[in-house]
Chains A and B, each alone.
Chain A
Amino acid sequence: MRERQKQILQLLDTSGPRLHRLLGRLTRREDVIGDLLQELFLRLWNSRAFDKVEDPFAYAYRTAINLVFEWRRRQQIACQPVEGKYPAARDNPSTLGKMIQAEELEQVLDATSRLSELARDVVVMRYIEQDSYEEIAERLGKKPQHVRSVCAKAMAQLREALTREKV
C-alpha cells in the first residue's frame, strides 16, 4: 500500500498542475477544480486498473476528462466564466460580449459532452490540450489515422449539434 501511495503522490507532484489546468479548462470554474482534483486522485487510488497501466499519466488524463464531463452533466446549467482569465470576445469586448462568449464556450463544451467517450477524449486532447495526433494515439493506444478519423467525425457531429442549437 505504501508503494502505491508513493506512486500516486508522485503522479500528483509531477502531473498534478497539468491535470488541474485541464479540469479548469473543461469546467471553466476555479471554485470547483479543487474538489474535482481531489476526487480524481481518490478515483485513481481506488482503481485496480491503475496498477497495471503502462502510462499512469495517460490513464489519469482520461479519468480526468471522464470525471469533468460527468460533472458537467450534473450541472446542466451554464457555468459562469472565470473572471479575468479569458481574453475578451474577439468582436465583442463589452460585458455583453463576454456573456455571449461565455455562452458560446458552454455550448461547445456541452456539445462535446454528448460525444462518445472516445470522440470526447480525442477532441479534448486535440483542440483544448492541443496535443498532436501522434501523442493522442499513443495515449489512447490507437493508430494516428484512427484518431484523425475519430476527430473528423467528432467535428462533424459538433458542427451539426451546434448548427441545430443556432436555429
Chain B
Amino acid sequence: MSEMDEREIERRFEVISQFEPNPEITARDLKRAREGLIEQTTEQQAKQQNIWRIIMKTKTLKVAAAAAIIIAVLVGIYEIPGSPSVAWADVIQPILSARTASLDIRIGSQGSDFLIHDDVMGSRIRRTVSNMESANIVIDFEQQRVLTIDHAKKTAVYVGLSGLPDLRNYVERLRDMIARLQDKPDFQVENQGLQKIEGKEFLVFVAGGDNDKVTVWADPKTALPVRIEQKSPNMLITCDNLQFDVAFDESLFSMEAPDGYMVQDAGAIDFSESSETAFIETLRIWAQIIEDGQFPDSINLEDIVKMGPKFAQGMKRAGLTEQQMAEVAMRWGQGLVFIRFFKGQGQWHYAGKGVKLGDGEAPIFWYQPQGSKTWRVIYGDLRAEDVSPENLPQ
C-alpha cells in the first residue's frame, strides 16, 4: 500500500486556500444576506405582537426545558459534589481500559420511576431518559456541547457547557476520581462479602470518607462492577446494568442535527460560575414561573429531573417568547451549578416548601461559605443575609 505523503495533503490544502471568489459574486451574496437578515428581523417583530398564540403552538418549548433539565442531570452525575468516595478501586481495574460503556442511572430511591440510560463512547455520551421517550441527547465533553433531539417534534437544541473542567473521556474521568480519592486521608474501604441482587450473588464493597459513601456490587468471578451506588448528603445515584466495551454504531453519537429538523442554539451554561446570585435567580424563576408564585417542595436532583412537563407548563403560563423560554431555561440551569458544585462547608439546607415568593420572614435556604464563621440565609423575598450559627433557622 503506498502511503499518502503529508506534504501532498498540505499541497492540496494550499490549492484550496488559493480560491478567491469573484468580487461581483461576493457583493451580490453579501447584499442578499443583508436583505435576508432584515426580512427575518421584521418577521420576528411582527410575531411578537401575538406571542401568546404562538407560544401555545411552539415546538421548541418542551425541548428548551428538557435541555436545562439534562444539564442539571449531567452536572449531578458526572461531578459529585465534595468528591465521592469510591471503594471500586479494588474492582474497577478492568474498566480503566474500556473504550465504551453502557449503564442505567437512577436518581433518588430505588422506587424512583425516572431512569436514565447512557451509552458512552470516548468523550461522547448518548442519553435517553424515561420521561422524554421521543428525545435523544448526545453530550460531547470534548466540544463541551449537548445536543437534544426530539424526533417526535423534529427539533434539535444545542446547549454549550462552558467552563467545565477537562472532561475529555469518561474512563479517564473515573481514573482521576480514583486517584483523587486514594489521596484522601479519611478514605476507607470495607469488603462486606457476598450479597444477593435479584437472586444472584455479588461481592459488595463499601467505601467512603466523612460525607460520601460509595457501594460497589461486583461480579465475584470477573471482578467487574455491575452496580455502583453513590450517596452524598444531598443526593443518591445508582448506576445499574454496567457493561463495558460494548460495540456501538458510531453514528449514534453524532452531534449533527438530522436533516429537516428545526435547530435552536440555547446558549451555554458556564460551570465556572456557581454564584449565590445565580442560584437566587434560579429560585426566583422556580417560584415565579414554574411553581406559580410558590417555592418548590424540594430542590433535590431527584425532583429536578422529574419536572420537565411542569417547567414547560410554567413557561407557557408566563407567556414568554420562544427566545425568552430558552434564556429562562438556561438561567435556571446556570443557578443549579451552585448546589451541584456546592463549594461551601458541610451541607446546604432547603426549607422553601409552602413558602410564597416575597415572604421576607421565611428562610428558604441556608449554607456556610467556605472559611466563613457566619452562614448565608436566603429568605422568601430572595434577599440574602449573614447570620451567626446560633441564629440559624431550626
Binding site for B on A (CB under 8 A): 1, 5, 8-9, 12, 16-17, 20-21, 24-26, 28, 30, 33-34, 37-38, 40-43, 45-52, 70, 73-74, 82, 85-87, 90, 101, 104-105, 107-109, 116-118, 123, 127-130, 155, 158-159, 162-163, 166-167
Contacts and interface: CB of A to CB of B under 8 A. Distances in A.
The interface residues of chain B, by DSSP majority, are classed as helix
Contacts of B15: 86-87, 101, 105
B26 A17 contact: yes
A118 B36 contact: no
Contact of B21 (A21, A42, A129): A21
Interface of B: 1-6, 9-22, 25-26, 28-30, 32-34, 36-38, 40-41, 44-45, 140, 142-143, 160, 255-256, 259, 263-268, 323, 326-327, 330
Contacts of A167: 1
A163 to B, nearest CB: 4
Contact of B267 (A12, A20, A48, A107): A48
Contacts, number: 145
A86 B19 contact: yes
A18 B142 CA distance: 27
B3 A159 contact: yes
B265 to A, nearest CB: 4
Contacts of B266: 48
B30 A159 contact: no
Nearest to A27: B19
24 contacts: A8-B37, A9-B37, A12-B34, A16-B30, A21-B20, A34-B25, A34-B32, A42-B36, A42-B40, A48-B265, A48-B267, A52-B268, A85-B19, A86-B19, A104-B12, A105-B16, A107-B12, A117-B143, A117-B255, A128-B13, A130-B17, A159-B5, A163-B4, A166-B1
Contact of A30 (B6, B22, B160): B22
A110 B264 CA distance: 26
Given A108-B9, A159-B9, A167-B1, A25 B45 contact: no
A49 B32 contact: no
Contact of B32 (A38, A105, A158): A38
The interface residues of chain A, by DSSP majority, are classed as helix
Contacts of B21: 20-21, 24, 30, 33, 85
B12 A5 contact: no
Contact of B33 (A12, A30, A116): A12
Contacts of B44: 1
B16 A38 contact: no
A81 B40 CA distance: 32
Contacts of B37: 5, 8-9, 12, 41-42, 45
A25 B19 contact: yes
B268 A116 contact: no
Contacts of A47: 265, 267
Contacts of B11: 90
B251 to A, nearest CB: 11
Contact of B323 (A16, A48, A86): A48
A104 to B, nearest CB: 6
Nearest to A20: B26
A12 B30 contact: yes
B29 A25 contact: no
B47 to A, nearest CB: 11
Contact of A159 (B6, B34, B38, B327): B6
A12 B15 CA distance: 26
